[in-house]
Amino acid sequence: MNRYRLRGSKAQNYVYGKYKARNTQLGLDRDGVEEPITFGHDRVEYGRINEKNALAKFIIVKKIVPDFILSEQDRERFVYEDYYKSDKGSVDISATPDGVINTDGCLEIKCPDTGKSCFVNGFPEQYICQVVMQQMVINKQDNDYDIKYTYFLGWTPWEYKLWMYERNLEFEEYVDAALVEYAKALLDGGKVKPKPKDYKKVIADAISKIKLINKGE
């Protein structure tokens, strides 16, 4: 019996092939290949170092301290087992948000190495599926959490932007369907559609509902 795990950090590839074509990612997952990060060790370290500064900004602005934070990210915090099962095996899904707030909220932090500007085109669409998958993983488990919103913080040393993503059940169902299609193909040895139907419009509609609630230096 095969067992696979889909991680929230690759949600954009599973759902619509943002950085890696869906069927290419599918083949890698099926073969158990974990590709190395290709955009440079320095950028990874930049993000890790500055997440602490971003978190400090969040605490100052919102006067909220998340229940668990960055130090625990060396392991997957939430895993929903048997998300999809068949006679050929099972697929788990997992997520590790940067923090959980009380029992109903998440925090996700991104520190783009883009100079002074921070996500100048608005909420970065490449992360919306990750945010949704985090909420899905946590809410599908039998636990005390009922995630209704995610704070999404973009931070550079010169600027920050804080968005509020309120749980969007319609878009969540869209992501869920794409993930189920992906998980089924993973177990069956088949392929998925290169792109889900109307994905650009659906994602744009979901992003239009996200609120920018704070920004500054």
- Residue 204 maps to which CATH number? 3.90.320.10
Phi, psi (deg, nearest 5) at residue 44: -65, -45
Give the pLDDT band of residue 9 (cuts 50, 70, 90). Answer: very high
pLDDT tens-digit series, residues 132-175: 999 999 999 878 899 999 999 999 999 999 999 999 999 999 99
State how far the Cα of 171 lies from the Cα of 187, in Å rounded to an integer: 25
Q: What is the mean pLDDT of residues 49-57?
A: 89
Helix axes 128-140 and 199-208, enclosed angle (nearest 10): 80
* Structural domain boundaries enclosing 78: 2-216
Q: What is the mean pLDDT of residues 121-127?
A: 96
C-alpha neighbours within 13 Å on the C-beta side of residue 159: 11
Q: What is the DSSP letter of 117?
A: -
Q: What is the mean pLDDT of residues 31-44?
A: 66
Number of folded domains that form the chain: 1
- N residues, the chain: 217
